[in-house]
A and B are shown apart, each in its own frame.
Chain A
Amino acid sequence: MRYLVTLKSGSPASPPPPELMDAIMALGDEATKSGALLDTAGLMPSAAGGARVSLSGGELTVTDGPFAETKELISYVVYQVRDKEEAVEWASRFLRLHRDLWPGWEGEADVLRVFGEE
């Protein structure tokens, strides 16, 4: 079964430490080599050229970033796993790296099953 894991966080006070970036690369490499990671990408902040298209009351509106929310989507990963617990474990490993290597960082990963996949 396939899962989409999205990572959200508030805007941090400092850039991510290089050790964290190395650790994230290593974890991504491990997930790829174990056949679980199908696709991933990091996302620019909504302030950097993002936009929102919304439909409300029959009206389409396009609003440029930054969005009003304090937490923004910063990356996504698509995993092929055997059950939810495996997807949760990959997401937990990812957040553990942030806990250990970027003090004060807070965020959340949503683990959602992709529709229509066995």
Chain B
Amino acid sequence: MAGSVTVTATDPARVVEAVWRMEAARIIAGVARIVQDVGLAEELAQDALVAALERWPRDGVPDNPGGWLMLTAKNRAIDLLRRRTVYERKLAEVGRDLLQQPEPDPDGELDDPVGDDLLRLIFTACHPVLKPQQRAALTLRLLGGLTTDEIARAFLIPGPTAAQRIVRAKRTLAVRNIPFALPTPDDLTDRLQSVLGVIYLIFNEGYSATAGDDWIRPALCEEALRLGRILAGLVPGDPEVHGLVALMELQASRFPARTAPDGTPVLLLDQDRRRWDHLLIRRGLASLERSVAAGPPGPYTLQAAIAACHAEARDPADTDWFRIAGFYTLLLRRTDSPVVRLNHAVAAGMAEGPAAGLALLDGLADDLPGYPHLPAARAELLARQGRRDEARAEFIRAASLTANARERALFEGRAADL
């Protein structure tokens, strides 16, 4: 072909950054096991990144770049321990075999076959001594390899606030002497709940963003999914881990259909289901099966089961609302929240008719004052009973309560259609 040139596309700096993002969590985890401090581990891992950025463009990219980074970071950790007065003690605890290896082999350096170091890092970043927002920021930093600036943009906060959130989180872990360790069997359930909560918080932070937002916010959903999949590999016996992954895969499968080209949100029942991501649906259903096989369903699994009912209906009219209402009943037994009760009422209204839904909505007003989706749900049910004036009034009420301009337009449109 005239004018074609051979280009080697491997810009070493970009290779370093990609390998770094892929391996950062494991490197930080491996170093944290040596120095017993995630903040320090992150600094040492960053040093290895800087070394790679200097060396690889000059000497070429090593054959096992991840192993090289890990070896370099661990060597720095050991150097640091040597320089410290606590050297002898720490060495006796953790460093001995590392120092005795005569010829370190980069191929062996990433070995953490059970992934215990990585799991320790996840549990530490999501430790209950930290505030939920701190856990999310630290998790994105240590496990997602996101920069402070990216985290700031993700949570719509100023850069210095994000930096402070991370610094404070690391300091709290150090001051409170939180060990770099797995939870005890007694603590495991609660600590795992905290991890799942952080991952779902990150997912929702991205999920609630609308089209046209900064790219980083949709990327949060991908990041949460990635973390969930990693966790499912590390804790394969826990039903709720698979349940959360299933829930996120199924919710993410609707992304391509949930906004119209002009950016308006499209409600679930109005979405073009051909645009759903069927690879993610298949993965979500497989995760749900794994969850059910692993044990009794918890709240994430039940929510995933509800999402699966929608995913399996080719046409909205095929939706099995009885099954959905049944899952909401089970969910209410685990987590009684007014929003779950509202959703249960909507599902019951679809399954058994509007009167059943309206009956369940009664008494919710005190629990959900000013919540626009309550009058909107009531309006839909009233409209189905032919009570147009009452329905219109409820839609107008819903429109007056929402702060979201697109949602307001949606409710006003429904009122006008009646």
Contacts and interface: CB of A to CB of B under 8 A. Distances in A.
Contact of B15 (A36, A39, A78, A85): A85
Nearest to B23: A34
Contacts of A34: 22, 226, 229-230, 233
A52 interface: no
A48 to B, nearest CB: 26
B283 A83 contact: no
A82 B219 contact: yes
Contact of A80 (B17, B21, B226, B230): B226
Contact of A38 (B219, B230, B233, B279): B279
Interface string A77-114: 01010110110110000001000000000000000000
Given A32-B233, A116-B256, A80 B225 contact: yes
B233 A39 contact: no
Most buried by A among B228, B229, B256: B229
A35 B18 contact: no
Contact of B222 (A85, A89, A116, A118): A118
Give the dominant DSSP class at B's interface.
Answer: helix
Interface residues of B, number: 28
A33 B255 CA distance: 24
Interface in A45-82: 78, 80, 82
Contact of A86 (B22, B229, B283): B22
B246 to A, nearest CB: 14
B53 interface: no
A83 B18 contact: yes
Contacts of B230: 33-35
B274 interface: no
A89 B22 contact: yes
A86 B279 CA distance: 20
Contacts of A83: 18
A23 B265 CA distance: 46
Contacts of B103: none
B62 to A, nearest CB: 11
B218 interface: yes
A80 B283 CA distance: 13
Interface residues of A, number: 18
A82 B218 CA distance: 12
Contacts of B14: 85
Given A80-B225, A88-B18, A118 B279 contact: no
B318 interface: no
A85 B233 contact: no
Contact of A85 (B18, B215, B227): B18
B226 A39 contact: no
Nearest to B206: A118
B277 to A, nearest CB: 9
B17 to A, nearest CB: 7
Contacts of A78: 279
A78 B115 CA distance: 24
Contact of B215 (A33, A88, A118): A118
B19 interface: yes
A90 B48 CA distance: 21
Contacts of B279: 38-39, 78
Given A38-B279, A118-B219, A82 B256 contact: no
B9 interface: yes
Contact of B18 (A32, A39, A89): A89
Contacts of A96: 63
Contact of A89 (B15, B215, B225, B233): B15
Nearest to B211: A118
A28 to B, nearest CB: 12
Interface string B204-238: 00000000000100110010011111100110000
Given A82-B18, A89-B18, 15 more contacts: A32-B229, A33-B115, A33-B230, A35-B228, A35-B230, A36-B22, A36-B226, A38-B283, A80-B222, A82-B219, A86-B18, A86-B21, A88-B18, A89-B15, A89-B22
Kindly list the 8 A-B residue pairs having the minimum CB-CB distance in the complex, ordered from nearest.
Answer: A85-B18, A33-B233, A35-B229, A35-B226, A86-B18, A118-B218, A85-B14, A35-B230
13 contacts: A33-B234, A34-B22, A34-B229, A35-B228, A35-B229, A35-B230, A78-B279, A83-B18, A86-B22, A88-B10, A89-B22, A89-B65, A118-B219
Interface of B: 9-10, 14-15, 17-19, 21-22, 63, 65, 115, 215, 218-219, 222, 225-230, 233-234, 255-256, 279, 283
Interface of A: 32-36, 38-39, 78, 80, 82-83, 85-86, 88-89, 96, 116, 118
